[in-house]
Structure 1
Amino acid sequence: MSKTTTPSLDRFISPFRVDGAERFHLKSHKTSAKGGIDKEEGEAIIEQNRKRLSDFQDKLYAQDRWSLLLIFQGMDASGKDSAIKSIFEGVNPQGCEVTSFKQPTSKELDHDFMWRSFLALPERGRIGIFNRSYYEECLVTRVHPELLKAEKLPPRLVTKNIWRERFEDISAFERYLTRNGTVVLKFFLNVSKEEQRQRFLDRLDQPAKNWKFSMNDISERTRWQRYQAVYQEIVRHTSTSFAPWYVVPADHKWFARVVIGSAIMAALESLDLRYPRADPASLKEFKAVRKALEAEAKGRKKA
């Protein structure tokens, strides 16, 4: 397979990119799309993207100017964990960190809804991965209003406009991040209800996967339509040119990884990452050090 370039990967990126330019309808995005390729071709692209990601991550870390924030959202069993594990296989863990946001602690509930996300943002030169994110505070809290009450907001601030206000706050926050050198990419793993059912059965059938199963997953499944409607609202109101959403077909895990990996590659390639060049004074010092090291080796031979 020849060297993959961004133009050849664009067919796995553009159809799934949502940047607010057009009105978004979730039903218009097929969960079973495969981009006109088969699994074997997909696996080859995934492997090539892994190799390029490792190279880009090394330059990102060395340059120490940009950072990358990747946000993964999706229904239970949509494949977030396995996608992260697959795409970042072989990447230096020193420059990459995954944060999984669970139910807020009492300390976190005593802060604003984005506070814990601030603490987990990637440093310059690093890749930060949010497995679920601050978007949960516009999702789960909307499906389960009792959770919003636990956030202890002053009652007069909890109005019918609260969700639109949170969308505005999130978009302002993401613009702030991009203006300060953090590239923000957001992935919604769009899985069908039938595929989720099959994956739940797989978890029940395989003892090694039993730990992944929770009765709460079944309870949330009964609210499927509500979650889909809220996700549509989230993507519709927080898709921007500076922090786009990628609505990733997730029924075929291998194709989801093709789309996600390709979008990450395109973003990193656009940064023109390079290893820092040494200044003239340092180069002069390097020559002196090399000369001394070579002389040391000659001295050992004579001895």
Structure 2
Amino acid sequence: MTRTTLLRPAITRTTRAAPYLSALAATALLLTACGTERAGVGGTGVGTAESTSRTQVADPGKDGVRVTSLTFPSPSPTPTRSDSIAADGLATDSGIVAAYEVVNKTTETLTYSVVITFMSADGGAMGNQTVTVRDVGPGKTVRGTVRAGELPPSTPQVTQAKVLEVTKVPSNEAPAAPGTCPASGVRVSADRGDAAMGLRVVGLHLDNCGTRDYTVDGYPLLELLDDDLKHVDGVKILDSTGAVTPGSADDKQQPGPVTLRPGESATASLVWRNTTEFGTPVNVPYVRVRAKDGADPVIVTPNLDLGTTGKLEVTSWQETEH
């Protein structure tokens, strides 16, 4: 299950090697850590490289997103501190940067989450990075960069990059950017989940980032969506009764009112098994979540590999322990 990570990147176009470092420094300020969203995570800088070289990339792309070029730092002519760290066997910032472009060919404003994989000459993946590109208008093209980040010294040389995965949702239903609070005063997001012995669990998170108390009662409201954001039929959404995980702690939780003061949070879980027997396996890339009846919808991307079970269990909202 690819997960991945949901601030709007300022896009800078660079066409010559000389101004590259200043453009990259500006881009680095916009990178966020892995979690609900992550925009081009990777290291603290380009190290000691004094010049760079750019290589065009023949990436066919996916869903209107493609990698256009790779920029590599030139080796330092003299030993540096970062060289000695690498000699100790620790990962150092590679200084490799991929340029990408996002073309919205639809008729609505979209927010994209893009996974870019950096590869060696033989096609082996050396590392993946995720970048979020917000509010791309209909017919618009947005360009940006993402860093390969830290790579162990033993990693084969990166020579190419491509778009590995693209998810896109209407911007008015996208999870809020880190550090921002929607007009509703609450943030809804999904984590990367956990999997063990065929059991899958993805956490839903509800954060009161507003200035007033916020009360939920019972279970989040869910709608399962396919790749085209259309309703998925044939899957039963079950309140936590132990139908998927008999005897678990989840099915013993009692649903009830939960009031969150500003700064407080609650969680619920999506639980399923990816058992595959007779029939056609069902995959659900998107879930539309409402914290309660009448709440604003938020589309998260847990990529539910439901197999042929036809069941998804949801637990009730429970206040997060502090």
Q: TM-score, normalised by structure 1?
A: 0.23
Greater RCO (CA < 8 Å, at least 6 residues apart) = 1
Tell me which protein shows more helix as a share of its residues.
1
Tell me which protein shows more strand as a share of its residues.
2
Which structure has the larger Rg?
1
